[in-house]
């Protein structure tokens, strides 16, 4: 998948939508049975406003671990080097996470906790 030529193809996007479900299936296949762990992985792409996937959960209905994973994963993406862009400075990443809260994507308290711990 070469993002320099544009976004995801339709097939790639469908694969992306399935990856949390597939990740959970693989964990189960490999003997993981802890429901909380599996729920965290399964719901890690839910959006705080309910527009995420795979179940469209919103707010406090999203397991807290999944909300934490979503914010931590995004922060890691922003602050890590990628072939198509340089890594972001910590404050720029914090600003973007705050913006994502305003858009309804993340739990405000989880973002604030990350900023408090790292900032």
pLDDT of residue 93: 98
Paired tokens of 62: 């999203």
User: How does 62-79 read in b/e, with b if 16+ C-beta sit within 10 Å?
Assistant: bbeebbbbbbeebbeebe
Rounded-to-5 percentages of helix, strand, coil across the chain: 65, 0, 35
pLDDT of residue 8: 84
Confidence of residue 6 (pLDDT cuts 50, 70, 90): low
- Tens digits of per-residue pLDDT, 67-94? 999 999 999 999 999 888 899 999 999 9
- For the segment(s) 3-118, the CATH number from 1.10.240.10, 2.30.30.230, 1.10.3210.10, 3.40.50.2000 is 1.10.3210.10
Q: Where are the domains of the chain?
A: 3-118
| End-to-end C-alpha distance for the chain, whole angstroms | 34
- Interhelix angle for 35-42 vs 64-79, to 10°? 50
pLDDT of residue 5: 55
Round the average pLDDT of the chain to a whole number and report it: 94
Please state the pTM of the whole predicted model: 0.89
79: nearest Cα among 65, 67, 66, 95: 95
């Amino acid at each position: 998948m070469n993002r320099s030529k544009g976004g995801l193809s339709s097939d790639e996007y469908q694969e992306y939508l399935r990856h949390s479900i597939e990740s959970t299936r693989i964990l189960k296949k490999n003997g993981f049975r802890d429901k909380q762990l599996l729920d965290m992985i399964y719901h890690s792409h839910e959006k705080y406003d309910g527009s995420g996937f795979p179940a469209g959960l919103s707010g406090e209905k999203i397991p807290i671990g999944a909300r934490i994973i979503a914010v931590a994963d995004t922060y890691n993406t922003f602050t890590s080097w990628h072939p198509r862009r340089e890594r972001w400075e910590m404050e720029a990443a914090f600003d973007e996470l705050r913006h994502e809260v305003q858009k309804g994507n993340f739990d405000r308290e989880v973002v604030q906790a990350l900023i408090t711990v790292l900032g």
